[in-house]
Every structure is written in structure tokens, then in C-alpha cells.
Structure 1
């Protein structure tokens, strides 16, 4: 699952990943083979001085995108992982588990000048698909341990902004299929929260749209999803998604 993210602006073309302690020496850690015992941190080649580098942290399940440049165990004495630049100007620390050794997988969009780095902690052994509606494909999910629950599946669907129409259609199809699975008040609250997640995700897809617009979208989504019928509702999800996207694009002009 997605557990952290930071944008790092580099002066030197390396982003460092490792335990929260300080880096004693500036070294270019090899990214192939097992982690050498003399190294405590990983140095990932990344773009510098032109734009930020996006570093996302995942626990277990993660999108199967990018090239794997590192896969080995690393000692995390406090159970924390740090993302930072060699100048010490940017630093992000996230607790990822118990103190000790953890397996890290690092994926990048470019092995020489990465602009996106995915750090996966303790990846699981299985794979899963997010695809629900024909014609709206999403990246495969790796590192899964067991079956993804509906909440976890929704979070994975909304974990990126690439292929926004496919993500919106898939998310709506999932929510509609779960809408009437229970009559409890708590389930109604869960349904409302799921639609809020989708609305908040849409804000990231259309950052130029004014905030007041999204309140109306949230109300419209709940009304249209509540009126949807049937266990297989891909066509309904597509129709709702098309209307919402059209409204967002019109509002952004």
C-alpha cells in the first residue's frame, strides 16, 4: 500500500534511501546484486537541477510500473526509512516496520536520470489485477500477500493520476458493486467515504478547477451511484465517469 511520498529537488544527481541515521560518506552504492555489507544507504541516479524527483514509498503491494534497479535486504535499526539529498536540504522519514532487516525493491522510470522512484518495503509474493471494466486497463499490482480487500483495491486504483478515465471508471465500478452489500448505517458511511476518496483524487487530476466545484461533484456522484443497479455495472460506471470528466474539463477552461 502507498504509505508515503515526497518531492525532492536535487543539486547532485543522486537521491539517497536508507535508515534514518546520517550518511557517513558520500558513496555511489551499487544497485545490482545483494546489498554490500559496507553500505548502509542506496544512491539512486536521478535528475538534478531541472525539476523535482517524486519518491513514493509502498508497503507490500505496489503498481508494476518502472524498472527494478534494486532488490535486496537493508538494515533499518529504528524501523525508519529516510529519503534525502546529499546536501541535506531535503529529508523525509517514514516508519515502515519494526527495527531490523527489511527487503527493499526500488523501481524507477529511468535508470540514469530518474524522475519517479518507487521504494517498496517487504514486497509480497503474489500479483493482482485492478481491471474490472473491459477497455479500461490499469497497471498490474505486484507484491501482494493474499487477496486485496475492496478498500485496499480502491486505494490502489486511486494511487496515481495516469490513465485518469480508466481509474475513475474502475473506481466507480468497484464502489457501485459494493453499494448495496449491506444495509447497516456503518456501510452507508463507508460508501460515502469511498466517494469522498474519489472526489479528492479528482482534485489532483484537475488541480486548476476551483474548490467549490467539487462539492457539487460529490453530491452528484452519490446520487448517481445510489441509482445504479445490478452487480455488473461497468456501463453505468463509464457513463457516470464520462459526465464527471466532461464537467471537470468544462470547469477548467
Structure 2
């Protein structure tokens, strides 16, 4: 059963790694799928394509700069046994030489999808990477920060030309929701109500056109902002659920990954990059 879009492979791959204990989120800083295990510091990255090609290999090699735990994933189509991209023994050999993992997804009309790991990743300096501290400001740190700053998985890995729900968009939504309730408000009031410390910068830069300055230090919601609150209602609901759960769970002060997510970042270096991911 041939897939029409690589996004069709995301759900089976996500379910597979969730069964192994990973928390999964799609389209995190241009990676199709990112996974984190609570007890591990090294993230999982999976790049997804309909078929095995050079572009997929190059993407996988780029992701090895972030983590040694990188898989490339493609559909396994039983109707294409003679195709070059279905010569699995040769493709496994290539991936092993490059340090990449390879997994396939077989889709059926009447049965659940089958995910198979043909080889596991063995990236360069794998043992060294496990003990290396995460450097502040590095691409890996920004990947982990973005992952943990999102309240849920609202993007399908492999999506193209779609608006992504990034951590920055989530913050802007919280500010918009607070402004909808208050009518007009100052940045300080919105920062307190929405629990977004960078509310002033979000209002001033107004990347999405959701906010309008009506007087010095006073803002209101635009029709675009009202429409966004309706469009992303599910995201706001999930954020509310996350906030309620957080009140009942005390974070582990020794958890390095959560420290990364909570560490403040200057607006100029973080927000602009998050908007670009959209």
C-alpha cells in the first residue's frame, strides 16, 4: 500500500517509539521527529521520507551533529521488490557505515502498520557523546529547549508549507488569550496573567499581526488574533491541562533536560529563530 505523503508514516513511527518509553514531538527545529526518554540526555531524531534517497541520507548525516541516536525512516512497499530503494541489505550496509539507524513502515489495508528496525544507529563517538555536557547556546541545546517548551505534539512530522505550532507561537497564543479576556492591557499585566515573561517583546514585534497598540503601553487584540484563538483552540486547551498537571508535580531539580527548558533565553537569540521555524 503506497503512501502519498510522508506524513502518513509519522503516526506509526511515533507510536512505535512511544511504546519504547519516548516522549515524541514532530517538526522540532526542522527535525521530522524528536524523542526524549526521561532518564536519557541524548535525544532521538528520525527523518522521514516516502522512499530512500540521497536527500534522506544527507539529512541524517546533518542530524548526527546533534545526536548519535539518528534514524532514517521510509515506507516498505511490497509491490516494489525490484526497486533500487527497496534493496534493503545494501541500504542497511550503507546506513551502518554512516552510523545511521534505518527503519521501515509497512502499511496494510486491513491490518495495523508494521514498523521494523533494520539497523540501529551507531554514530561517531557514541560513548563520548553520552557524557559530554550540553553547551549553552548550541544547536543541541536549542533543540532540547524547543522540545520541552512545547506543551504537546501539535505538528505532524514530514509536513511542508504548514504553520507549525512552535514554543513561540504557544506563548503568543497565551498572550492573545489573556488579552481577549482583559480587552485592553499593558505588557506587565499580560505577562502576569498569561505567565509569559517575554510578553512585551511578543506584543512589540507582533510577528503574526495578532496585536494592536492603542495607546502608549496599551494593547488590544486584532481580528487576526481573534481568528487565531479559534484556530488554535485545541492548543490552548492542552496548555491549560499541562498547567494544571504542573501544579501537582514538583519538578526534579536534578533533571538536566528540564533545567534546559526552564533557563531564560534573551529574546533576540531565541524568538526570532522560533518564528523562522514557522
Q: TM-score, normalising length from structure 2?
A: 0.25
Q: TM-score, normalised by structure 1?
A: 0.27
* Between structures 1 and 2, the one with greater strand share: 1
Structure having the higher helix fraction is: 2
